[in-house]
Homo-oligomer: A and B are copies of this chain.
Amino acid sequence: MTTPMLGYLDTKFVEVMDDTVALLRQVFGTKNRLTLPVSGTGTAGMEAALTNVIEPGDGVVVGINGYFGERIANIATRCGGVVTTVEAEWGTHIRAEKIAEAVAKVSAPKLVALVHAETSTGILQPLADAIEIAHSSNALFLADCVTSLGGQPVDMDARGIDIAYSCTQKCLAGPPGLSPISFSERAVDVIRNRKTPIQSFYLDMTLLENYWHGEKRSYHHTVSMSMIYALREALRVVLEEGLAARYERHELNARALLAGAKAIGLQPAAEDGYRAPMLTTLRIPEGIDDTTIRKRLITDYGIEIGAGFGIFAEKAWRIGLMGESANERNVMLVLNALEKLLIEFGHNVETGTAVHAASQVY
């Protein structure tokens, strides 16, 4: 980020842009031409995805099993979409049959949207059946990959995801500030055939496409060079490690964390078989005060873990092991700290139990 500024149309900067897009395509697993970082954080990417394809009156099916599914439904409604929700209990995945039922009820659905990894619950949502359901109804399929990209396979082209977006500060391990996004040719066709104007100018992909991919690069807005430099470097680091190795590393550390947590009586809040490795949710045991523990983790150990969102508020902790932070050292640090605090607050556990259990996983 300390690389000197260049003009937004400087030929040297255009090379940086092209580089960044080429790296993004590899991480998204796509050949999609319309791939770029939106100049805003993850929520800007969500809004860009929805506002470009939804027109007033369009039927949109949104899966909700946590906070970010709710946000998709909120934004889709603001875009004029007529939203049908498919709800599942927080901490569980959304079953394909329920998605099929919802899609069947909507005449000519435009879009089916699911959150790939729900940051509020730690669920990794299976996508294959939902994609087939969406496509067989001629709808586009959108996956919110804010938390998954770089930590679990997104594989847009192999899976047939039409629209995916993410952020820079989770499993890509860069600073926050941009939202990588990608649209399939089917999604681009939908945008080109709109009957109404896109309600946002800032997020209008037909204009952003000219700036990022046009033969003649047309000014749209002054992008943040520093953020793009940072994203490019983060993507290089991701690909230097290799996607497969990176996914495995996230899984390995999540297994170790969970083994240690279970050994000291902390139970996972997310359904078995559907757990996102980059975000582990643990139920807070009876008699343990949420805020006290999180504050002590920060002040005594320099460790920040996430508070529960929504129905998980004060009921569960969210422990992120994302990007470079998904490593054995961090797993051991947080387990040791949690164990000590639980013992202090009356938990009957032998010292070293958590770390011992975790170390057996490595």
Contact = CB atoms under 8 A, between A and B. Distances in A.
Given A47-B202, A201-B75, A304-B7, A222 B169 contact: yes
A41 interface: yes
B78 A222 contact: no
Interface in A159-191: 167, 169, 175-177
Interface string A187-200: 00000000001111
Interface of A: 1-2, 5, 7, 10, 39-44, 46-47, 51, 71, 74-75, 77-79, 167, 169, 175-177, 197-202, 220-227, 230, 304
Contact of A202 (B10, B43, B221, B225): B43
B197 A78 contact: yes
Contacts of A169: 5, 222
B79 A199 contact: yes
A224 B175 contact: yes
B167 A225 contact: no
The 10 A-B residue pairs whose C-beta atoms are closest, nearest first, are A177-B224, A43-B221, A1-B1, A175-B226, A47-B202, A176-B222, A75-B201, A40-B40, A44-B202, A176-B224
B40 A201 contact: no
Contacts of A304: 7, 10
Nearest to A309: B219
B71 A201 contact: yes
Given A47-B200, A78-B199, A304-B7, A221 B175 contact: no
A222 B167 contact: yes
Contacts of A175: 5, 224-226
